[in-house]
Amino acid sequence: MSVDGWNTVLVLGGIRSGKSEFAESLVADAPMVRYVATAPEGDPEDTEWATRLATHRARRPGSWTTEETAGEPRRLADVLASAEPTETLLVDDLGGWVTVLLDPEHQPADDVATIAELAEAIRGCAARVVLVSPEVGLSLVPTTPLGRAFTDALGAANRAVADACDAVVLVVAGQPAWLKPTTAPASTPSTPVTATGRHAVAADQAAPGRSAAVSLGDAEPTPEVQLPEVLTHTPPVAPNQEPGDPWAAPTMALPMVATGLVIQPGMELPMPDEYAGPQAVDRLATLDVPGAGLGVLDRVVGFAAATQGTSTPSAWGSVRVLLLNGDHTGGASAGTVAGESARRAAQARAGRGALARLAAEAGASLQVVDTPAAAPIETEPALAGEQVESALRYGWRLAEQAADAGVQLLVLGACGAGTEAAAAAVLAATAGAEPPAVLGRVITDSGEIDDAAWMVRCAAVRDALHRTRRSPRSAKDVLAELGGGDVAVATGVLLGATARRVPVLLDGPVGLAAGMISRDLAGQARHWCLLADHGQHPAVRLAADVLGLEPLLDLRLDLGEGANALVALPMLRSVLALAAALPVHPSLGGDADPDGTDEPAPDYTDDEPAYPGPDDTDPEFVEPEPAGPGPTRTGADEQAASGWRAG
């Protein structure tokens, strides 16, 4: 939503003023929108009205869902009150709602009380809401009692709703004029707040209905933790940037057009420092360590040095885990338990489960991101083209939001059903892999191998590749036909993180599939990615080989995407902290006394022996009493001990 800092917006306008199109543009970047239609169907003979309704329906993207409230106007308040914080609602419009409210079928009714209930529901609504309403206060007073009743009721509704909303805009001839606030809102990405002790919501920093990201720490989980929504971010103009040169920003922010970010093949995004990495690895050979060094983990130091632009990189302090939750329907999800992915996502939001506990141990914040569900790829495209564009921009802004919050490392994971099959399809399309070779075995909840489900997944990927055999293999085409919402959002995250110079720790098939897609959009993205472990996934092994990402570890963990990386994160941090703190070996010019003390070293060269011998005069040796229970000493033992001391 491109109105940052406000949760509810009222869009007013006259007939054919463009108010509906403007309202739709405010929610264009949301991955999923619930469209609340309030107008009745009308007279079947009224073809002009039917054409208007058809035009409105045709403009809605395929990812939007529609809910009708024309049958009961009081239900609109219930819809708003029950909306979840992760939802985006577009109510179009209040004129139709008032028409139904005044209908004789719904009388007698207290119209004033119903309008007050609606305003109260808007104030307490946790979702992002855009409401559309016709402005009739500028016209003449109607000459009929029914017309006057309609304008009076709609005027009262507009006043009550405008008072309840965070922002109000009047659209005249397609041009928006902001009434509340008096200037167009500026983009201010939300900053996640780290909670200590217990999960806390920063009510003083978050807009009404929106809560902040939480750091899990070692806090006790609460029943529900709401995470921040992603808002449209307008890239700042660099000090030396020409206004007409959108590619000159230091972070290589994408150009903006009326529809939002432009993500296209061949983007020139920044590369890590090509000198800092080798210099950091060379420096490791000079450190004062007793053994041979860090082994293969020296690549962690080289990666961190290149991405931080220094030969002495520091350990990642602020880490954010992005858990993408989006299911793949059809044969791709064969063998999965219905509702399992939603349960895992809810578990993570509540601060429970393996991922949340590992994030708590690592001091990382955890953000669960819902992505559009993918259609069965064996019969139809996974996503529409508009959904792909929206998902890419959404992922980009997730990375921007993290960078603005000071996050130094992103961990990318997914928990949707059918992700392995979707990743296999992407690999088959981009790297020529055979689906059976990159599809892992299907393991049931009881730990058994489900070969039948594995064959169904293979068949789904095979049929999808056959269906798309004549389709283009460009990045966006592969995402639309085979990838799905989670892979598309993950691709946007990689691109946005690259633009903002934030490294990404990959874990699982979705992240690696996104890495394959991002190659064709910006080849620099893979250089900002690190792979801790392959997790025994054949798709991850192949994609890592193609991308040149050699796993640092071979722990063969399978704790779920994101959790495997968090297991390795403390080790990686320790390696970076050690490399930054150790001094250079004294033989190579390092300080022989790195602690800076002036005390002389112990002298063991005198004539006095280090330990007294049998002929030395020394204090009588007294055998200590045992610290715990032991055998009872007899008189003979005491006599023997005395004899030994005397001798």
Give me the long-range contacts of 26-29 (CB less than 8 A, separation at least 24): 26/1, 26/2, 26/130, 27/1, 27/88, 27/90, 27/128, 27/130, 28/2, 28/259, 28/260, 28/390, 29/1, 29/2, 29/232, 29/260, 29/390, 29/393, 29/394, 29/397
Measured CA to CA, the distance from residue 201 to residue 194 in angstroms comes to 9
Q: Catalytic site residue 561? A: yes
Q: Is the bond preceding 93 in cis, omega lying within 30 degrees of 0?
A: yes
Structural tokens at position 95? 């004129």
Whether 179 contacts 170, CB under 8 Å: yes
Chain centroid to CA 12: 34
**Neighbouring-strand partners of residue 257:** 260
Give Rg (Cα) of the chain.
32
Query: Annotated catalytic residue: which of 120, 561, 625, 638?
Result: 561
**Where are the alpha helices (H) located in 289-418, listed in sequence order?**
298-308, 340-349, 353-362, 385-404
Structural tokens at position 472? 């283009």
Whether 442 contacts 450, CB under 8 Å: yes
Whether 209 contacts 28, CB under 8 Å: no
Phi (first) and psi of residue 586, to 5 degrees: -60, -30
Q: For the purposes of burial, counting CB atoms within 10 Å of the CB of 329, is it exposed (0-12), middle (13-18) or buried (19 or more)?
A: middle
Whether 302 contacts 313, CB under 8 Å: no
Measured CA to CA, the distance from residue 427 to residue 285 in angstroms comes to 38
Q: Which are the catalytic amino acids?
A: 561
